[in-house]
């Protein structure tokens, strides 16, 4: 029977076979499904299957759904399989006993014994789902079915029931994925409906639904264009999409007014009341009341609090100088180092050692090759010999590994050290308590590649340091690409008088005649380029540049050169870095990766490989990942499952408090955190069970085939942004004639990734024009203006930061950071040298907290997981609300840690052995011997359209701010 294109099939009973595709930047997915009713008249393949695409949630294999599907004739012909797009998903529970038992069989398919126990104990006429969701079935009533099992079943069944209630209320006005998100927030249909009917725009906050979708939904329900809630959410949407996405943290009020009125289709007079400082404050905005020029600006309350907090803490650190080592002892250690190693430190290096020893915050700035990491290693070695503990941190796993290799000391990511899930610091909810005390008795904290630190992450970090206990040292190059996020943190601090900045100027790496750093210096200083538009080549030592403007020709040359270097260096891809400025096209990293893969990991007969089930829209081919492929992590994951490299099975993490058999519960596994940009190698592929294992540093991580291409990508070629933080002996650069994403900072960053050689293929005319653009200078933030004194955080808003924090979260326990007495000017001096000298003469001045340290130490106590959960539930109940997802994630993570600690204590007691730290460290080293570390991986990324306008000098906010405050405005 022939079917017309776009024919609608209603209430199609389907079962999910597997996920075929998942878009990395949206909820678009493709599933392979089976129609479970053989009598339903619908196009099927020879196996009774179909493909279904559209915005959908992550369905588990075997999930049973009732869907409305639209036939897609073109896709059916292209993929040679009946293909449909999802129109609607009908949720709810079956109304008859037979249907309920069938539903139960589907959701317990991985635990057959659970279904058998229930079916043996209850009659076939029992409405089993209703009994479970209405809690008529009690723990122990059915042998082997305990409270944990019933809770899991209850939650799963209630979700289907409540999704049906939600869909019955709003029908097709919301998408299937929207219903999933709304339920995941409220966890109760009636509560969700009450809240949405009261304020339709709440679906933005609770479900991650975009303002434009929510606005259409609300307007259809009779909400007026001048409704205050509409204007409030519209203002937040405008600020996020037009200001924060442009890397700014505030905007001029005139510009923001014009943007909002156009976006919301309202008159300025309608918007004006919402921009009154007092009204704006109620909507979580700050309209400043202290602008020296008379012009007003606007930011969000949270952004203001973060930048004001950073400014305040910098002041605390500035006035809390104390020496880690006595000055005389440090001087002797420096002299010993120079004598033993036959080197002479220059005055800049010695100034850094003294500043890091005394000051609360020190910035170590310098261009590539000036020896920043080397002098950090000198400082670390001196402190280590004097038994001073410390932490070494970096924004990414890749950068942390580079730091660890140079210093020969353990280094971690900032997120892992602060116990933050990657990306958690940007979540839009109010969390003002800090991790202060994280670093215990450690004397100092080093943060490498600090140009990659966003203001959100900096806010978390600077509050975690106790400046009476440790010093904070930021290491970076302020001219490298700025962080992907609003603000200009490192540059703000490096130019602030409140922070001691030591800038290294003498170049050591590669030798001054290599040519690479000579060109990098020219780019950094915006000096004239040494090549001309019509020049064919430019060669200077280890730097070779070729004037090319044909994208295909450049791509062919890059691939050939990559192969030559690969073959000349024992076929080791870790010695080569290929950087481009785009993801797609002949010169895009995706195409180059496939071409390089053909000779690095060619297909082997009988060897397992992953093959994408759908065609790539750019190339028309299927993506392939093979054993030993170099891959990059594309998404942050704080609960990536670990695998035992001896068995290639996930490592179980069974909860001993679970009162059911292991086959009656959803298994849990040991986890780790991986971050966007980490690099790894494919260590194992299991096509039968549809997963692969990637070795990331010294850990083996599980990746299911479902949605794999939104989690991993080949990493032989990377974009410049994701190359930041890494290094390679040989760097290959290729840029198209249009210069997409090329600017002074990106080109400088790409050049300085090289240890030995650089080969660059690009249009010289394009480079000469684009290398005059510096994105860093296009950003403006409050922090830089607070530090410069142009703006005052205490008078910027109607309230001070402390008053605002208490007003926004009056129930929260306020964090009281110590504000020490300001030291006399002659005691602090340059880099605190005079104070150190005084300490040497009068007996060393101890760090302020040393005298009270014993009194503040408390014995570690194991937390009760149930008590943690109950306290959280009680708090949310008292506030008459359900938690938003980040709050819930944080509580569950704490519960998991508490349970793990209890299990470890039980294991130690049962063995009658309490492991010492030495034993634990030895066991850890033995485990690591089985896992050979690899080079971590870059990732692929691009600017948003708004960020690109900054790169091209077309940012609409920039013109407004220059008009108001002049060209030097930050």
Q: What is the pLDDT of residue 731?
A: 94
Q: Cα–Cα distance between 355 and 893 in angstroms, integer?
A: 38
Q: What is the pLDDT of residue 308?
A: 92
Q: Cα–Cα distance between 453 and 489 in angstroms, integer?
A: 7
CB 502, CB 363: distance < 8 Å = yes
Q: Cα–Cα distance between 455 and 461 in angstroms, integer?
A: 10
Higher pLDDT residue, 443 or 947? Answer: 443
What DSSP element (H or E) covers 182?
helix 176-186
Weakest-pLDDT range from 189-203, 334-348, 415-429, 654-668: 654-668
3-class DSSP state for residue 273? Answer: helix
In angstroms, what is the C-alpha Rg of the chain? 30
- 500 class by beta-carbon count within 10 Å (0-12 exposed, 13-18 middle, 19+ buried): buried
Higher pLDDT residue, 83 or 857? Answer: 83
Percent of the chain with pLDDT over 70: 78
719's tokens: 């974009």
Q: What is the pLDDT of residue 863?
A: 65
Q: For residues 517, 523, 528 and 529, what is the CA-based torsion angle, rounded to 10 degrees?
A: 60
Identify the bridge partners of residue 624 per DSSP, sorted by sequence position: 611
Q: Cα–Cα distance between 301 and 806 in angstroms, integer?
A: 12
Q: What is the pLDDT of residues 61-108, one digit of tens each?
A: 777 788 899 999 888 887 788 999 998 888 888 888 888 888 888 778
CA angle 307, 312, 317 (to 5 degrees): 125
The pLDDT confidence band at residue 894, using thresholds 50, 70 and 90, is: confident
Q: What is the pLDDT of residue 497?
A: 92
What DSSP element (H or E) covers 165?
helix 147-170
Strands 543-547, 537-540: pairing kind: antiparallel
927-933's contacts with Cβ under 8 Å and 24+ in sequence apart are 928/698, 930/645, 930/646, 931/645, 931/695, 931/698, 931/699, 931/700, 932/695, 932/698, 933/401, 933/697, 933/698
Q: What is the pLDDT of residues 439-493, one digit of tens each?
A: 888 999 999 989 889 888 999 899 999 999 999 999 998 888 777 788 889 999 9
Q: What is the pLDDT of residues 689-741, one digit of tens each?
A: 889 999 998 899 999 887 788 889 999 999 988 887 778 899 999 998 887 77
User: pLDDT averaged over the chain?
Assistant: 80
Q: Cα–Cα distance between 17 and 20 in angstroms, integer?
A: 9
Q: What is the pLDDT of residue 140?
A: 84
**822 pLDDT more than 60:** no
**Extended strands (E) in 229-374:** 251-252, 285-287, 297-300, 361-366
How many residues in the chain?
970
Q: What is the pLDDT of residue 139?
A: 86
Q: How many CA atoms lie within 13 A of 311 on its CB side?
A: 24
- 818 class by beta-carbon count within 10 Å (0-12 exposed, 13-18 middle, 19+ buried): exposed
CB 796, CB 289: distance < 8 Å = yes
Identify the bridge partners of residue 712 per DSSP, sorted by sequence position: 633
**Mean pLDDT calculated for residue range 555-577:** 93
Three-class DSSP labels, 436-482: CCCCCCCCEEEECCHHHCCHHHHHHHHHHCCCCCCEEEEEECCCCCC
Q: Cα–Cα distance between 732 and 750 in angstroms, integer?
A: 9
Q: What is the pLDDT of residue 881?
A: 57
Q: What is the pLDDT of residues 251-289, one digit of tens each?
A: 999 999 999 999 999 999 999 999 998 899 888 899 987
Q: Cα–Cα distance between 117 and 528 in angstroms, integer?
A: 79
The pLDDT confidence band at residue 595, using thresholds 50, 70 and 90, is: very high
Weakest-pLDDT range from 22-26, 53-57, 358-362: 22-26
CB 289, CB 797: distance < 8 Å = yes
913's tokens: 């052995």
CB 23, CB 53: distance < 8 Å = no
Higher pLDDT residue, 627 or 430? Answer: 627
551's tokens: 């994208």
Q: What is the pLDDT of residue 839?
A: 42
Q: Cα–Cα distance between 919 and 912 in angstroms, integer?
A: 15
Q: Cα–Cα distance between 356 and 13 in angstroms, integer?
A: 67
3-class DSSP state for residue 957? Answer: helix
**939 pLDDT more than 90:** no
**930 pLDDT more than 50:** no
Q: How far apart are the first and last CA of the chain?
A: 67
Q: Cα–Cα distance between 591 and 665 in angstroms, integer?
A: 44
The pLDDT confidence band at residue 889, using thresholds 50, 70 and 90, is: low
Higher pLDDT residue, 88 or 559? Answer: 559
CA angle 885, 889, 891 (to 5 degrees): 120
855's tokens: 């009194």
Identify the bridge partners of residue 544 per DSSP, sorted by sequence position: 539, 759
96's tokens: 């008859």
Who's near 282: CB < 8 A, 6+ residues apart?
A: none
Q: What is the pLDDT of residue 614?
A: 72
Nearest to 574 by CA among 933, 114, 852: 933
Q: Which residue has the tokens 């053989």?
A: 38
**323 pLDDT more than 50:** yes
Higher pLDDT residue, 875 or 844? Answer: 875
The pLDDT confidence band at residue 362, using thresholds 50, 70 and 90, is: very high
Three-class DSSP labels, 470-521: CEEEEEECCCCCCCCCCCCHHHHHHCCCCCEEEEECCCCCCCCCCCHHHHHH
CA angle 530, 535, 537 (to 5 degrees): 80
**Mean pLDDT calculated for residue range 507-516:** 65
Q: What is the pLDDT of residues 616-636, one digit of tens each?
A: 766 667 889 999 999 998 877
CB 680, CB 936: distance < 8 Å = yes
pTM of the predicted model, to two decimals? 0.70
The pLDDT confidence band at residue 579, using thresholds 50, 70 and 90, is: very high
Three-class DSSP labels, 551-563: HHHHHHHHHHHHH
> 294 in the Ramachandran plot: left (φ > 0), alpha (ψ -120 to 50) or beta?
left
């Amino acid at each position: 029977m022939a079917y017309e294109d776009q024919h609608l099939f209603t209430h199609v009973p389907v079962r999910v076979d597997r996920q075929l595709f998942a878009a990395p930047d949206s909820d678009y997915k493709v599933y392979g499904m089976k129609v479970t009713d053989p009598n339903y008249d619908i196009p099927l393949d020879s196996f009774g299957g179909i493909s279904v695409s559209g915005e959908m949630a992550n369905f588990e294999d075997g999930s049973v759904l009732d869907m409305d599907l639209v036939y897609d004739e073109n896709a059916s012909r292209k993929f040679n399989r009946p293909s449909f797009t999802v129109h609607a998903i009908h949720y709810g529970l079956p109304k008859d006993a037979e249907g309920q038992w069938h539903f139960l069989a589907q959701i317990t398919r991985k635990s057959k014994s659970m279904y058998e126990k229930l079916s043996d104990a209850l009659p076939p006429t029992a409405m089993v789902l209703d009994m479970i969701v209405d809690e008529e079935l009690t723990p122990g009533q059915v042998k082997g079915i305990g409270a944990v099992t019933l809770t899991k079943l209850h939650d799963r069944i209630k979700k289907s029931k409540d999704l049906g209630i939600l869909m019955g209320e709003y029908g097709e006005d919301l998408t299937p994925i929207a219903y999933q998100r709304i339920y995941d927030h409220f966890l109760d249909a009636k509560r969700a409906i009450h809240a949405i009917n009261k304020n339709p725009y709440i679906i933005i906050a609770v479900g991650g639904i975009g303002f434009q979708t929510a606005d259409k939904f609300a307007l259809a329900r009779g909400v007026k264009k001048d409704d205050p809630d509409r204007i409030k959410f519209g203002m937040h949407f405008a600020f996020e999409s037009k200001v924060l996405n442009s890397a700014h943290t505030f905007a001029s009020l005139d510009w923001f007014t014009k943007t909002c009125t156009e976006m919301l289709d309202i008159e300025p007079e309608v918007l004006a009341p919402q921009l009154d400082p007092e009204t704006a404050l109620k909507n979580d905005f700050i309209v400043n009341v202290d602008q020296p020029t008379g012009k007003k600006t606007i930011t969000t309350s949270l952004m203001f609090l973060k930048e004001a907090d950073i400014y305040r803490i910098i002041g605390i650190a500035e006035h809390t100088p104390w020496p880690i080592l006595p000055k005389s002892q440090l001087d002797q250690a420096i002299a010993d180092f120079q004598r033993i190693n036959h080197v002479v430190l220059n005055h800049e290096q010695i100034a850094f050692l003294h500043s890091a020893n005394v000051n609360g915050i020190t910035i170590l700035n310098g261009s590539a090759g000036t020896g920043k990491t080397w002098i950090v290693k000198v400082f670390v070695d001196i402190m280590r010999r004097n038994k001073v503990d410390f932490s070494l941190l970096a924004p990414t796993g890749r950068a942390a590994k580079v730091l660890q290799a140079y210093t020969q000391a353990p280094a971690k990511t900032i997120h892992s050290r602060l116990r933050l899930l990657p990306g958690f610091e940007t979540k839009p909810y109010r969390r003002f308590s800090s991790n202060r005390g994280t670093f215990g008795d450690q004397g100092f904290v080093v943060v490498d590649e600090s140009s990659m630190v966003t203001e959100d992450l900096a806010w978390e970090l600077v509050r975690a340091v106790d400046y009476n206990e440790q010093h904070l040292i930021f290491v970076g190059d302020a001219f490298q690409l700025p962080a992907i996020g609003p603000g200009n943190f490192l540059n703000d601090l490096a130019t602030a008088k409140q922070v001691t900045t030591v800038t290294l100027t003498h170049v050591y790496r590669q030798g001054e005649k290599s040519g690479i750093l000579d060109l990098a210096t020219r780019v950094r200083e915006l000096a004239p380029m040494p090549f001309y538009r019509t020049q064919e080549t430019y060669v200077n030592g280890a730097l070779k540049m070729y004037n090319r403007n044909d994208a295909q020709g450049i791509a062919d040359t890059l691939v050939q050169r990559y192969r030559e270097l690969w073959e000349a260096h024992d076929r080791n891809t870790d010695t080569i870095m290929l950087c481009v400025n785009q993801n797609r096209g002949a010169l895009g990293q995706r195409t180059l990766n496939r071409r390089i893969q053909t000779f690095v990991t060619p297909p082997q007969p009988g060897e397992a490989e992953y093959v994408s089930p759908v065609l790539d829209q750019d190339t028309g081919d299927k993506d392939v990942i093979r054993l030993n492929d170099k891959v990059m992590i594309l998404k942050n994951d704080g609960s990536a499952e670990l695998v035992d490299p001896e068995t290639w099975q996930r490592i179980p993490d069974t909860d001993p408090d679970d009162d059911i058999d292991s086959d009656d519960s959803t298994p849990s596994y040991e986890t780790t955190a991986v971050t966007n940009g980490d690099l790894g190698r494919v260590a194992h592929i299991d096509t039968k069970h549809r997963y692969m294992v990637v070795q990331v540093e010294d850990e083996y991580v599980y990746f299911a085939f479902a949605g794999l291409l939104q989690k991993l990508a080949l990493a032989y070629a990377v974009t410049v942004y994701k190359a930041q933080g890494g290094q390679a002996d040989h760097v290959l650069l290729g840029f198209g004639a249009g210069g997409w994403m090329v600017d002074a900072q990106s080109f400088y960053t790409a050049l300085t990734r090289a240890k030995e050689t650089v080969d660059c293929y690009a249009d010289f005319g394009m480079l000469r024009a684009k290398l005059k653009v510096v994105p860093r200078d296009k950003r403006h933030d409050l922090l830089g203006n607070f530090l410069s004194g142009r703006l005052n955080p205490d008078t910027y808003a109607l309230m001070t930061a402390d008053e605002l924090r208490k007003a926004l979260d009056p129930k929260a326990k306020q964090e009281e950071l110590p504000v020490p007495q300001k030291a006399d000017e002659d005691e602090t001096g340059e880099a605190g040298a005079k104070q150190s000298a005084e300490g040497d003469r009068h007996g060393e001045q101890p760090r302020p907290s040393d005298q009270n340290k014993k009194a503040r130490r408390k014995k570690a106590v194991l937390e009760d997981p149930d008590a943690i959960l109950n306290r959280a539930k009680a708090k949310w109940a008292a506030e008459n609300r359900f938690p938003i997802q980040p709050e819930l994630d944080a509580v569950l993570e704490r519960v998991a840690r508490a349970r793990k600690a209890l299990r470890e204590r039980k294991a130690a007691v049962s063995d009658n052995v309490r492991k010492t730290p030495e034993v634990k460290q030895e066991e850890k080293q033995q485990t690591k011997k089985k896992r050979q570390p690899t080079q971590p991986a870059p990732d692929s990324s691009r600017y948003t359209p708004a960020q690109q306008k900054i790169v091209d000098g077309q940012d609409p906010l920039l013109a407004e701010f220059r008009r108001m405050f002049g060209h030097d405005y930050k």
